[in-house]
Structure 1
Amino acid sequence: MSTRDSESGGKPETVAEKVDRTKPGQDEGSATFGAFVRKPGARRVAVDVSGSPSARSEPESSIEPVDSVPDDAVEVGFIADAYGLKGWVKIVPHANGKQGGDALLSAKRWWLVKGRERKSARCLQSKVHADTIVARLAGCEDRDTAAALKGHAVYVARGDFPKLDSEDEFYWVDLIGLDVENEAGVALGRVADLIDNGAHSILRIEYPGTDKDGKPETGERLIPFVGVYVKTVDRAAKRIVVDWDADY
């Protein structure tokens, strides 16, 4: 383990997070923001869209098959089971049962995918239940109908994600695909994924390399997404600048 790895263990930040400093009144060792999750201590409340003006203008219909999901759709969880007897479903949000929660609570339109099936569903009501989300979908009126949705992945349009509080907070989905370079301008690769190790998020960066026989292969770098290493995130330029040497 490198010195940088051992140093990073003392700054537990989650997924979408500030890269410059902690918020006023917040302990430096406390978790900050996570992708698809709320600020620690903030209340997560049930969202009932059935009485909203936009909901009233859209008739309650059944869950309908569609040809495709929107281009900006992001998978945020999956339906684990039916919940109760009145057609509610239980959703497990991705990543430690938390990420995806706020998007599921705020979005009025969901897309359900299982194999080659694509369905569109209007969410009438959703709320937190332990580490899961339970929801009532238009056209899903009994337990048998809800149970038939078990195993479907749930997608939400990126435009329906809750707005983050500042420009220094990021959703994972917005970081994937960004080029990464260090402060000397050396290209380190591109963000392929992020990992939540329980203490903070880690950028998983892929770059072209060669194996011991000189054949092309894909290399990997893991850089903790914490302020001591991540200096700037420029989404417009699709670039992240880090304090990290190319040979780490």
Structure 2
Amino acid sequence: MTDPLVCIAALKGAHGVKGEARVLSFTENPESCFAYRPWRDAAGKPLLTPKRWRPGKNEFIVTFEETFQREALDAMKGTLLYVPRSALPEPEEDEFYHADLIGLSVLDTNGTPMGRIVAVPDFGAGALIEIDGPDGVFFHPFTRDAVPEIDLDAGRCVIRVQDAEE
């Protein structure tokens, strides 16, 4: 298996005229995104290397080792920033990186294939797994009760599907 990329931040655009940019961190401790460098684009190509940063309003103001004009940073607005999964610490027990879950095959508790995990969104009421199944895409709660088994080595997870009458 190749080393998947994990999205840890997004470029929000230029800040001022001195080559700084606004960056939104997605890491649990927002400042920890700076421990992983260089940041890569979605294809894995090194893109930005943070040099200095300071807190902004719900973001960080960042200076990079690379030199950019304001227009170039504004053109990169919305760019997602990644690091290789291998650069990150191992998650605690019962914690998972989204990159580790995406692609897992999904079975119900009876062993019936349900599809594959394609995303792990959280729309504000808790994490879900988005499953691309034989009848189309559907969402399932991502809780211990709803997903009683995850086996990363086997590349699968088991979901508990409730009957409409339960």
Classify the TM-score, shorter chain: 0.7 to 0.9
1:74–1:179: structure 2 CA closer, same or farther, 3 Å change rule? same
1:225–1:178: structure 2 CA closer, same or farther, 3 Å change rule? same
Task: Check whether the contact 1:102–1:162 (CA below 8 A) recurs between aligned residues.
Answer: no
User: Which 5+ residue runs of structure 2 have no aligned equivalent?
Assistant: none
1:125 is aligned to 52
Q: Determine helix, strand or coil for the equivalent of 1:190.
A: strand
RMSD: 3.1
1:136–1:109: structure 2 CA closer, same or farther, 3 Å change rule? same
Q: Percent identity?
A: 25
Residue 166 of structure 2 is aligned to residue 240 of structure 1: no
Residue-by-residue CA offset, 1:44-68 (whole Å, 9 max, x unaligned): xxxxxxxxxxxxxxxxxxxxxxxxx
Residue type matched to 1:137 in 2? F
Among 155, 174, 186, which residue is 2:82 paired with?
Answer: 155
Q: Determine helix, strand or coil for the equivalent of 1:79.
A: strand
Residue 63 of structure 2 is aligned to residue 136 of structure 1: yes
User: What are the equivalent positions in structure 2 for 1:7-22 lying under 5 Å apart?
Assistant: none
Q: Distance in 1 between matches of 2:32 and 2:103?
A: 21
Structure with the greater relative contact order (CA < 8 A, sep ≥ 6): 1 or 2? 1
User: What are the equivalent positions in structure 2 for 1:18-37 lying under 5 Å apart?
Assistant: none
Residue 6 of structure 2 is aligned to residue 89 of structure 1: no
Deviates more, 1:154-163 or 1:184-193: 154-163
Task: Check whether the contact 2:22–2:59 (CA below 8 A) recurs between aligned residues.
Answer: yes
Task: Check whether the contact 2:109–2:160 (CA below 8 A) recurs between aligned residues.
Answer: yes
Residue type matched to 2:33 in 1? L
1:21 is aligned to none
Q: Distance in 1 between matches of 2:82 and 2:148?
A: 31
1:35 is aligned to none
Residue 127 of structure 2 is aligned to residue 195 of structure 1: no
Deviates more, 1:71-80 or 1:186-195: 71-80
What TM-score results when the alignment is normalised by the length of structure 2?
Answer: 0.76
Q: Determine helix, strand or coil for the equivalent of 1:148.
A: helix
Q: Distance in 1 between matches of 2:156 and 2:31?
A: 26
What TM-score results when the alignment is normalised by the length of structure 1?
Answer: 0.54
Matched residues, number: 159
1:106 is aligned to 35
Q: Distance in 2 between matches of 1:80 and 1:226?
A: 32
Task: Check whether the contact 2:114–2:134 (CA below 8 A) recurs between aligned residues.
Answer: no
Per-residue deviation, 1:146: 4.3
1:216 is aligned to none
Q: Determine helix, strand or coil for the equivalent of 1:149.
A: helix
4+ runs of 1 displaced by more than 6 Å? none
Among 94, 105, 109, which residue is 1:183 paired with?
Answer: 109
1:157–1:206: structure 2 CA closer, same or farther, 3 Å change rule? same
Task: Check whether the contact 2:3–2:85 (CA below 8 A) recurs between aligned residues.
Answer: no
Per-residue deviation, 1:75: 3.9
Q: Determine helix, strand or coil for the equivalent of 2:49.
A: strand
Structure number, greater radius of gyration = 1
